[in-house]
Amino acid sequence: MKNPYFPIPMEVKKAYVETTDRMLRTLELGFLSQADEKAFHFIPGQFCELSVLGKGEAPFGIASSPKENGSLKFTINKAGVVTTALHHLEEGGKIGIRGPLGNGYPIDLFKGKNLLVIGGGFAFTTLRSLIAYLLHPENRSKVNEITVVYGARMPGLLLYKEELTQWEKRSDLKLVVTVDWGDKDWKGKVGLVPNVLEEVAPSSENTYAVICGPPIMIKFTFPKLMALRFPNERIYTSLEKRMKCGIGKCGRCNIGPLYVCKDGPVFSYAQLEKLPKDY
Amino acid sequence: MKLKLDKKDFEDFLQSLMDEQDLYAPVQLAEGVSVFKRIDQPGEVNLTQFPSQKPAKDVFFPQSEVMFRYGKVGNQNEIHSMEEVKRERILFGARPCDIEAISIIEKVFVGKEYTDVYFLEKRKKTTIMGLGCNHPLSTCFCSSAGGDPFLRAGSDLFFIDLGEVYFVELLTEKGMAFRNNKFFKEADPKDLTLVKELEEKAFEKIGFSIPVDGIEKRLDLMAESSWWDRVHEKCVGCRICTYLCPTCHCFDMVDEASIDKGQRVRHWDSCLSSLYSQETSGHNPRPTTRERTRQRLMHKFNYYPKMFGQVACVGCGRCIIYCPVHFDIRQAILWTSPKRSKRFVGERI
Amino acid sequence: MEERQKAIQDRIREKARELLTNKAVDLIIGLGEGTLPLRATPIFIRNPEEADRLIWNSFCENNLATYLHKFSHSKVGIVLKGCDARSIIALSLEKRFKPDQLFLIGVPCQRMVDRRRVTKAVKGEILHAHEQGDQIIVEGEDFKTALKKNDFLYPSCQVCTHRTPVQANVWVGDPVEESPLVETHPEIKEFEKKSPEERWKYFEKESSRCIRCYACREVCPMCYCTECFVDSSNPRWIEKGLSPSDLEFYHIVRAYHQTGRCSGCGACERACPMEIRLTYLTQKLNLDVKEIFGFETGIDGDTPPPLSTYEIEDRQEFIK
């Protein structure tokens, strides 16, 4: 019987720092066994538990899209013992992975609709997966208009900068990148995400919204979404919660009768309204 | 199949079991302190103390368990998973409440998508020999929580103390495998009569006084009640109730390592500890005992029933006896019942 | 004896009613009737009508000072025995609450009954218990026994010489004679007779039962660190499992963190579900502190604990 706690061995193919404060680092991981690679199917919004033997395990959203064959991309914020160990891994470093875990974004619901994506800071990881997946030629036609508002505190703290530049040039995507404070080289928008959203004012008709960001950003952006007449059933978010096993056994991440690791981490606000405010 | 075992043969009987399999039974570590552990000598078994501090879940879901060991060989890590159970096991002397609790944990651990192999391996390789409760304590309320002092469900063999002999019922296929044990004899009709008498006496004593029935719906209406502001006050946030509870199953996973080798271990954890939900950002969704006590009571009587259709409490009474500040879960349950007095002044909790 | 206890109980209720009626405090922390015999339970009352829930008897063993950390934002009235009051003084030295935050209701203590030893002295479940003079009458389904109260007191109560709270806003009883029942803590007497190897064996045996429930830590008023050393992940001082060395490490370090701060109330030992003996450690350390530094925790509100302060005159002969 398959042991769901047993990590699959992976290797670091590429590792590079994303942000100027050096706190965010992206790892591109390759499978060591072809069989494992073939068996690994995921959808945007899912996460994996990354293991550094001797240090521990921690959950990270998958930043790469399922259509980007080969490596899995994760962006890691240096915060504690495990993440510091992940930051010290170089190319060739060995790492374990368990996944894909979680429920992922409800892409079936987005079919034939418009999509509004709002991201803040380093919560953008799974949103990248979602956007890259939908921009793929095979998938682009599934969804109508895609609007993305992505903000960070400062230009140096934006993730996936090269990709953002490419995406800004696309005609099949409306991307607005903003920062709270600009610097002398920043030519783009300056403004807080909630305010920029108000400016962009996408129509809520036939549109789903996906929002991921720090609690303070969500707190001020949510009223703007209300003002734009987005109903709770059409606003989705990916919740952060302390996790351990990732498979709904250890009990740590429960909110009411749901486990964030198994029944989430993606929930609609309509679902969250019915749950206790344990997050 | 209804048999009996003379108490004179009890230790030899246990020895006959131990010759073939590992035997887990209640053992007294000190006067008044008893746990379930593997027996080396039949004389270690102690069936007089109920409830034991550590419940029978320890036999299937140990407090500390190595999940896998690894060692560095060159640049590679060699990892060995540790779920294999080499020898068949017997759990002897667990009461119906503890046995029912194992199936409550099993519902979580053995799922459609993922199965906790560590738990399942132990469960599959264990024969459960339950023991009936002739004298339920005043703190027992198993019958209110859907069980009873002589509940056979979950046991492969069921023992009842008749004084000079144990009445033994073989209930399942696993149980029937013991029918040829040389210490078992056919039960007499008078033994059966005595069993019936004991069962009736125990049922009468324990009653149905705690209104567990319907508590899920009642708690639905109380999710944001100010009642939670009072319930938690005396709780100091230790872990006794969760560790001694036969159904609680939260755990933590940590790596313990030296330079070139180590292991991933899981330990019991408790939603009542202050750092349980602490997030890396510093935010703690359950910062005080108010949220944590609510989580515990709601999980047992509202969330778990929503997921699995029964309450996650078997009425063993350990949390009532061993809580250092005498938090009585029966009072908390009574307080959700419409039968309590309307005027809530925070009393009786 | 009972009249004295009843008088104290009445006065506690009277005072509580008065304080709550005048809104001098937001909340009173005291002890109420438990659902099980031989037990009282902490209660938290906010209305004068609830004052009659407060009780006083020889089962009022809980040290309520530990709740102050939880109610630090309220003005609190609190019922305290002698040992509890010493904890309050120790906490005030560590600046754990604001000066006018507390109203101390001091109770000169008659010594608390060791409920576990009472339970072990009879065969069968105790269903009722009450005090009668200097006896405890316990009743079960088929027995009724009278036990001499003084034979069943907690070890920490037997050696106590500060049963009257040293400080209080009001005392609800007359001060009691401060002579201990026994000169030396019975377990320390035994412990001191042992050789170092025997002492270690005893400690090893006791700590081997530990299940890391941390009840000893949570009921202790002096353990209030938001991150205890056992929870530290970097540096990781101790693992979370049951390896004997970890269990021993936890108990030794916790005892040492209490040195010079522990009032000897015994709450840790009473809370332990595995009945691990703990007061022999803490009391022995207290005795050592008294001998070496001439200091007793919680007696005066000015002298800081010796192990938390540094003076130029401190002994230095151990620095080589």
Name the residue ranges covered by the structural domains of chain C.
Answer: 2-114+153-307, 115-152
Nearest neighbour of B115 by CB, restricted to A4, A251, A256: A4
Residue C310 tokens read as: 């540094």
Shortest CA distance to A24 belongs to which of A71, A64, A60?
A: A60
Query: Can you tell me the distance from the alpha carbon of B275 to that of B250, in angstroms, rounded to the nearest whole number?
Result: 14
Residue A143 tokens read as: 């969804």
Q: How many other CB atoms are found less than 10 A from the CB of residue B153? A: 13
- Residue for token pair 């829930």: C53
Q: How many residues does chain C have?
A: 320
Residue B50 tokens read as: 């109920």
Chains interfacing with A (3 or more CB pairs < 8 Å): B, C
Which residues have C-beta within 8 Å of that of residue A227, sequence separation ≥ 6?
Answer: A198
Query: Can you tell me the distance from the alpha carbon of B246 to that of B61, in angstroms, rounded to the nearest whole number?
Result: 10
pLDDT lower than 70: segments of chain A: none
For chain C, the maximum distance between any two Cα atoms, rounded to a whole number of angstroms, is 67
Residue A160 tokens read as: 């996936």
Contact B170, B157 (CB under 8 A): yes
Query: Can you tell me the distance from the alpha carbon of C276 to that of C1, in angstroms, rounded to the nearest whole number?
Result: 31
Contact A257, A97 (CB under 8 A): no
Ramachandran region, residue A263 (left: φ > 0; alpha: ψ -120 to 50; beta: rest): alpha
- For CA atoms B218, B221, B224, B229, the dihedral sign is negative
Residues of A whose CB is below 8 A from C234 = 80-81
Query: Can you tell me the distance from the alpha carbon of C109 to that of C84, in angstroms, rounded to the nearest whole number?
Result: 10
In angstroms, what separates the C-alpha of B240 from chain A's closest C-alpha?
A: 17
One-letter identity of residue C47: N
pLDDT at B75: 67
DSSP per position, chain A: ---TTSPEEEEEEEEEE-STTS-EEEEEEEESSHHHHHH----TT-EEEEEETTTEEEEEE--S-TTS-S-EEEEEE--SHHHHHHHT--TT-EEEEEEEES----HHHHTTSEEEEEEEGGGGHHHHHHHHHHHSHHHHTTSS-EEEEEEESSGGG-SSHHHHHHHHT-SS-EEEEEESS--TT--SEES-HHHHHHHH----TTEEEEEE--HHHHHHHHHHHHHTT--GGGEEEE-----SSSSS-S-TTEETTEETTTT-SEEEHHHHHTS-S--
In angstroms, what separates the C-alpha of B252 from chain C's closest C-alpha?
A: 9
B345 vs C: CB within 8 A: yes
Query: Can you tell me the distance from the alpha carbon of C84 to that of C298, in angstroms, rounded to the nearest whole number?
Result: 9
* Mean pLDDT score, B123-145: 94
In angstroms, what separates the C-alpha of B257 from chain A's closest C-alpha?
A: 5
Contact C251, C281 (CB under 8 A): yes
Burial class (CB in 10 A: 0-12, 13-18, 19+), A174: middle
CATH architecture of A8-100: Beta Barrel (2.40)
Query: Can you tell me the distance from the alpha carbon of C113 to that of B253, in angstroms, rounded to the nearest whole number?
Result: 41
Which residues have C-beta within 8 Å of that of residue B214, sequence separation ≥ 6?
Answer: none
Q: 3-state class of B212 per DSSP?
A: coil
Which residues have C-beta within 8 Å of that of residue A78, sequence separation ≥ 6?
Answer: A22, A23, A24, A25, A84, A87
Could B298 and A256 be called an inter-chain contact, meaning their C-beta atoms sit closer than 8 Å? yes
How many Cβ pairs within 8 Å bridge chains B and C?
119
pLDDT at B229 over 50: yes
pLDDT at C200: 96
Q: 3-state class of B283 per DSSP?
A: coil
A164 vs B: CB within 8 A: no
Query: Can you tell me the distance from the alpha carbon of C308 to that of B74, in angstroms, rounded to the nearest whole number?
Result: 49
Shortest CA distance to B264 belongs to which of A250, C252, A103?
A: A250
Query: Can you tell me the distance from the alpha carbon of C58 to that of C40, in angstroms, rounded to the nearest whole number?
Result: 9
Rounded to the nearest 10 degrees, what angle do helices C244-258 and C196-207 cross at? 100
Q: 3-state class of B230 per DSSP?
A: helix
Residue in chain B lying closest to A241 (CA): B279
Could B70 and A240 be called an inter-chain contact, meaning their C-beta atoms sit closer than 8 Å? no
> Which stretch of DSSP H or E encloses residue C44?
strand C40-45
Looking at CATH, the fold of the domain delimited by A107-238 is given as: Rossmann fold (3.40.50)
Residues 253 through 272 of chain B touching chain A, CB cutoff 8 Å: 253-255, 257, 262, 264, 266, 269, 271
B189 vs C: CB within 8 A: no
Query: Considering chain B, what is the average pLDDT of its residues?
Result: 91
Flag whether the pTM goes above 0.80: yes
pLDDT lower than 70: segments of chain C: 1
Q: How confident is the model at residue B349 (pLDDT cuts 50, 70, 90)?
A: very low
Q: What are phi and psi of C123, to 5 degrees?
A: -100, 120
Tell me the HSE value of C161 on the side-chain side, using a 13 A CA sphere. 11
Residues of B whose CB is below 8 A from C210 = none
Q: What is the DSSP letter of C97?
A: S
pLDDT at B343 over 60: no
Q: How many residues does chain B have?
A: 349
Nearest neighbour of B114 by CB, restricted to A53, A55, A248: A248
Residues of C whose CB is below 8 A from B31 = 120, 275
Nearest neighbour of C34 by CB, restricted to B322, B326, B345: B326
Chains interfacing with C (3 or more CB pairs < 8 Å): A, B
In angstroms, what separates the C-alpha of A182 from chain B's closest C-alpha?
A: 25
C206-219: buried (b, 16+ CB within 10 Å) or exposed (e) per residue? bbebbbbbbbbbbb
Which residues have C-beta within 8 Å of that of residue B145, sequence separation ≥ 6?
Answer: B210, B212, B311, B313, B314, B315
Rounded to the nearest 10 degrees, what angle do helices A193-200 and A215-227 cross at? 20
For chain B, the maximum distance between any two Cα atoms, rounded to a whole number of angstroms, is 71
Strand partners, A105: none
Burial class (CB in 10 A: 0-12, 13-18, 19+), A105: buried
Could A251 and B250 be called an inter-chain contact, meaning their C-beta atoms sit closer than 8 Å? yes
Burial class (CB in 10 A: 0-12, 13-18, 19+), B232: buried
Residues of B whose CB is below 8 A from C267 = 324
A50 vs B: CB within 8 A: no
Could A6 and B81 be called an inter-chain contact, meaning their C-beta atoms sit closer than 8 Å? yes
Query: Can you tell me the distance from the alpha carbon of C84 to that of C168, in angstroms, rounded to the nearest whole number?
Result: 11
**What is the C-alpha radius of gyration for chain A, rounded to an integer number of angstroms?**
18
B228 vs A: CB within 8 A: no
pLDDT at B345 over 70: no
Nearest neighbour of B63 by CB, restricted to C120, C227, C242: C242
Which residues have C-beta within 8 Å of that of residue C125, sequence separation ≥ 6?
Answer: B135, B137, B138, C140, C141
A40 vs B: CB within 8 A: no
Q: How confident is the model at residue B348 (pLDDT cuts 50, 70, 90)?
A: very low
Tell which of A78, A90, A249 to mutate to test the B interface (max B CBs under 10 Å): A249
pLDDT at B346 over 50: no
Domain boundaries, chain A: 8-100, 107-238
Q: 3-state class of B229 per DSSP?
A: helix
Residue C143 tokens read as: 């027995």
Q: How far apart are the first and last CA of chain A?
A: 34
A274 vs B: CB within 8 A: no
pLDDT at C1: 59
Rounded to the nearest angstrom, the gap between the alpha carbon of residue B174 and the centroid of all alpha carbons in its chain is: 21
B81 vs A: CB within 8 A: yes
Residues 244 through 273 of chain B touching chain C, CB cutoff 8 Å: 244, 252, 254, 256, 265, 267, 273
pLDDT at B297 over 60: yes
Query: Can you tell me the distance from the alpha carbon of B257 to that of B260, in angstroms, rounded to the nearest whole number?
Result: 8
A6 vs B: CB within 8 A: yes
pLDDT at B285: 92
A249 vs B: CB within 8 A: yes
Query: Can you tell me the distance from the alpha carbon of C79 to that of C65, in angstroms, rounded to the nearest whole number?
Result: 9
Query: Can you tell me the distance from the alpha carbon of C208 to that of C202, in angstroms, rounded to the nearest whole number?
Result: 10
A80 vs C: CB within 8 A: yes
Beta-strand ranges (E) seen in chain B are 2-6, 22-30, 33-38, 64-73, 76-81, 89-94, 126-131, 157-161, 165-170, 184-186, 251-257, 261-268
pLDDT at C36: 93
Residue in chain C lying closest to A55 (CA): C233
Domain boundaries, chain B: 2-206, 215-336
Contact A46, A101 (CB under 8 A): yes
Could B298 and A276 be called an inter-chain contact, meaning their C-beta atoms sit closer than 8 Å? yes
Q: 3-state class of B104 per DSSP?
A: helix
Shortest CA distance to B152 belongs to which of B136, B134, B171, B137?
A: B171
Query: Can you tell me the distance from the alpha carbon of B212 to that of C60, in angstroms, rounded to the nearest whole number?
Result: 30
pLDDT at B74 over 90: no
Chains interfacing with B (3 or more CB pairs < 8 Å): A, C
Residues of C whose CB is below 8 A from A80 = 233-234
